[in-house]
Amino acid sequence: MNPVADLLGRVAGVALRLALGLAAAVFLVSLLLASVLAVAGMSLWALLTGRRPAPLVVFGRMRERSRQYSQGVWRAGPAAPGAAPRGEVVDVDAREVDEPRRPQP
């Protein structure tokens, strides 16, 4: 083909790649900004209503669970501190239940 046409094709390809890369970067930055604003808004709302901010609650739960796993969660004993020990399994007597009568049409 013509060297000028090849050059224009390559320039157009590079320009298209740059435009798509820029669009992806703008999308990712806007997504990050939206998530930061959502977390900040929920935290502010939680503080105004007198509750702990949700991210602190979530990370606190994760920290507590990691402590439990490091101390051996699968040991025998009550499920939670101060909880009553689990009782034995009790079988119940089965009884037959009659089907309800349906009105005749």
**Model confidence over 42-56: pLDDT tens digits?**
888 888 888 877 777
Q: Where are the domains of the chain?
A: 3-71
Q: Which residue has the higher pLDDT, 89 or 29?
A: 29
Are the CB atoms for 72 and 64 separated by under 8 Å? no
Confidence band of 73 (pLDDT split at 50, 70, 90): low
Q: Which residue has the higher pLDDT, 64 or 31?
A: 31
Q: How much is the pTM?
A: 0.46
Report the distance separating Cα 14 and Cα 55, nearest Å: 42
Position 39 scores a pLDDT of 85
